[in-house]
Each structure stands twice: as C-alpha cells, then as structure tokens.
Amino acid sequence: MHDTNQSAKPWAGRFNAPTDAFVEAFTASVDFDRRLYRYDIQGSIAHATMLARQGILTEAERDAIVAGLEQVRARIEAGEFEWSIPLEDVHMNIESALTQAIGDAGKKLHTGRSRNDQVATDVRLWLREEIDTIAGEIRRLQHALLDLAEREADTVLPGFTHLQVAQPITFGHHMMAWFEMLERDHDRLLDCRRRLNVMPLGAAALAGTTYPIDRAHTAALLGFDRPAENSLDAVSDRDFAIEFSADAAILMMHLSRFSEELILWSSAQFGFVELSDSFCTGSSIMPQKKNPDVPELVRGKSGRIFGHLIGLLTLMKAQPLAYNKDNQEDKEPLFDTVDNLKGSLKVYADMMAHVSCNHERMREAARQGFSTATDLADYLVRKGIPFRDAHEIVGKAVALGVREGRDLAELPLESLQQFSEAITDDVYAVLTLDGSVAARDHLGGTAPNQVRAAIARARQRLAD
C-alpha cells in the first residue's frame, strides 16, 4: 500500500489542511494517465542515468533507482500494482512506489525536473510510438487497396460527379484514389512526428533548473532529435497534440468518405460490391438485412475525432504561459483519438482485403446516364469541330437518347448523323465503355494499363 495521507503529497509542505475528498478525486488524473506508465518509467531511467553521469546522483543511487523502476514496471504489467487517487497521477504513483521499494534514493529521482516537463515528455514518448503504429496500419490498408486495385484493374464502373453518372472509370483507378489520399495522411503523420520528437525534460517547472544537467544526453537516451530550446515553451506546448489531432481528423474524414461509398455501393440499389459477412451484422427484426456496420461506425467515429480536435484547440486558446492545470484535459481526447483511429484503420485494412465486386452490375450502371458523352465530344474535336460546337452537338444527341430511352451507343448511325455529318460508323468504337476507359491512357488516367503502372509505382514507394 502507498502512503496516501496529505504528507505523502509532493507539495504538502505549504498546506495546513488536507485536500477536500471531492477535490482530490476531481483533480486526479491517474484513472486515465496510468496508461503512460511505460513512458514515465522510460523517461525516469534516462533522467537518473543523466543525473549520475553529471555527478548529481551516485552510481549506486542510479542503479538502485533503475532496478526499483524495473520492479515497479513488472508489478504494473503483472496487474499487482495498486493505483492511488490521492497520489493524483501516474508520476507520483510510480515515484511513491519506488521510494517505498528503495528508500531515500527514490526521493532523489525528481532532482532537476518537475511534473510539468515530466508529463510533457511522457506524452511525446507515447504519441511518437503510437504514430509509428498508426503509420504501419495505414501501410497495411494501402497494401490491401493495391491488391484490390490490381485484381480489378479492368473492372468498369460509373464515375460520379454530384452523385450523377459522369464518365466510365475502372474500379482499380478508384481504389488508387483512396491510396493517394492515405499516402498524404501517412506523410502528414511523419511530418508531425518530426516536430513532436523534441524533448521537454530538463525545462523543470518553467524556468529550467540550477543543477548541471545534460539535456542533450537525456534526449539521446530517449531517442529525441534534440532538447526543446525554451523552457517556458517546453512545458506549455501542446501544438504536437493539436497537430496530430488535425492529421487524425483529416485521416478520419478520408475513411468516412470511403465508408460512404462502400455503404452506397453495397446497397441493393447499387449492388456494386459485397462486403464479407465477417464485417457486417443483421437485423433483430428483419431477417433479410445485411448491414454495413463497420463503414457506418467508422463514418460515425469521424465526428468524434473532429470534436476532439476542436476541444484541444479550445483548451489551449486562452492559456497564458506556462503550465496550467487545464492541460490535464489534453490526455483523454488524445487517448481516445489514438484508440479510435487505430481501430478504424485496423478494421478497414482487414475488411478491404475481402471486398468482392459485382462486375455486371457495375458495367450495367456505367451504361446508364450517357457516361460516354464526353468521348463523343472528343471524337468530334478530333474530326476538326471546335469543342464548344461539339459540346452542343452531343447535348442534342443526349436529348434524343433521353426521349427514346436509349444510350448513345444504342442510337443508330443515321440518328447521330442528323446532328453532325462528321460522325461516321467508327464512332461506336469510342462509345463503348472499354474504349472510353482505354482512351484515357496517360499518367493519372483511368486506362487499365495506367492503373497497373500506378500500382507498380505505388508498390515501389512502399518498398522504399
């Protein structure tokens, strides 16, 4: 058991009355920040190692502290550690347990630091590792998309603008659009990680410390690129958490857009794709239902992540330098953002590996809505007709198709020729779906061979 009376609090010397019981529970953070224990211990071991190197601790004290912290970590991971609300947070719980285990040497661990720089360091260590995990999940999802795009490089479906049929595209091309969105997400997270990887430890409460510490050595031990330049900024900065949350919000916006398309495509009205039963649920009352719960839930979680970003911005917007208790409120939204982002990416990577396409439904849908109208206009331009005139000619042909209930490719040649004598029987080659997609044969185009080339470049990017 920890000693949890008022005298056990690190700041108790100035106070004559015990903390109100409700205030004690209200201000404690240990219920949620205990998840930082590994990073708190990691930072403490590096700090103690530096203090001994500088002669502030003896080597024996350092060894006792390191061994004691390892014992505390083992107890936590074995589920044998008793967390105490009166000790307020993960830092004091661990320090108290350490002191009980090794005696006065444990009380020396906090020399040259404050909980202000300690927590800022812990959160950066934790988030750095989480970013690496999230980046790995993005890559896993991208690999699933590449595999799907490769399988369906020739599969034709309608491309939409305004959710109206626009032009034929290939399903592989569509999946590569998702891939590119995720590639930007991956880049943003790595960029965030670079700015995050600066060490606050040694800034102490706000002004630094009078002890001859070596912050560069501690930073090297913890894998940081460098120590933070300014002690005031070091303890009060939460830009890294806000930047990560913004990146997470953009990523979740992308997943929400993916979800919307999957939900539409898997509906009876579209019938373009089939989601594996493993990622769907049924109805308690309607036995025929197969609900796309995974994409629906991911779409819903996007709003939750957006809210956390706004919450963190609001948390910081009126804070004076340096540390304020408000900053205790940064962790729960940040933790929740990470948990839900990782979960969404994981389930998407698993789900996309088992998506199947209904090729006939896609092709039939692409035949509707005059999706090759632009191809007819391009055909006329190649015959020497100015584009604006070609646009008007095709518009009239479409109007005829609407009246007769026939697609452009189904209109007889004489019907098309009433709008332009430039139209000859070779027009039907450009009015086919396969001809339409194949004609867009350039970098970034939807032609199947361009899709395969894009997949090959993407695989090389991931390999590099």
> Catalytic residues, which ones?
162, 283
Q: What residues pair up with 167 in beta bridges, in sequence order?
A: 159
Per DSSP, helices labelled H in 152-238 are 171-196, 215-221, 231-236
End-to-end CA distance of the chain: 52
Cα–Cα distance between 25 and 357 in angstroms, integer?
54
Q: What DSSP line would sit under 121-142, residue for residue?
A: HHHHHHHHHHHHHHHHHHHHHH
Q: Return phi, psi of residue 356, to 5°.
A: -120, 150
Q: For 209-242, b where at least 16 C-beta lie within 10 A, e where not — what string?
A: beeebebebbbbbbebeebbeebebbbbbbebbb
The residue assigned the tokens 């109007």 is: 399
User: Interhelix angle for 239-265 vs 293-316, to 10°?
Assistant: 160
Q: What DSSP line would sit under 381-434, residue for residue?
A: HHTT--HHHHHHHHHHHHHHHHHHT--GGGS-HHHHHTT-TT--TTHHHHHSHH
CA distances from 352 to 255, 384, 414 (A): 12, 45, 47
Instruction: Provide the 10 A C-beta neighbour count for residue 165.
Output: 19
Closest CA relative to residue 243, chosen from 300, 198, 202: 198
Sign of the Cα pseudo-torsion (243, 244, 249, 253, in order): positive
- Amino acid, single-letter form, for residue 77: E
Closest CA relative to residue 153, chosen from 390, 437, 367: 437
Cα–Cα distance between 454 and 457 in angstroms, integer?
5
Contacts of 420 (CB under 8 A, 6+ apart): 380, 385, 393
Q: What residues pair up with 274 in beta bridges, in sequence order?
A: 356
Contacts of 361 (CB under 8 A, 6+ apart): 270, 271, 272
The structure tokens listed for 127 are 């988030």
DSSP letter (8 states) at residue 291: B
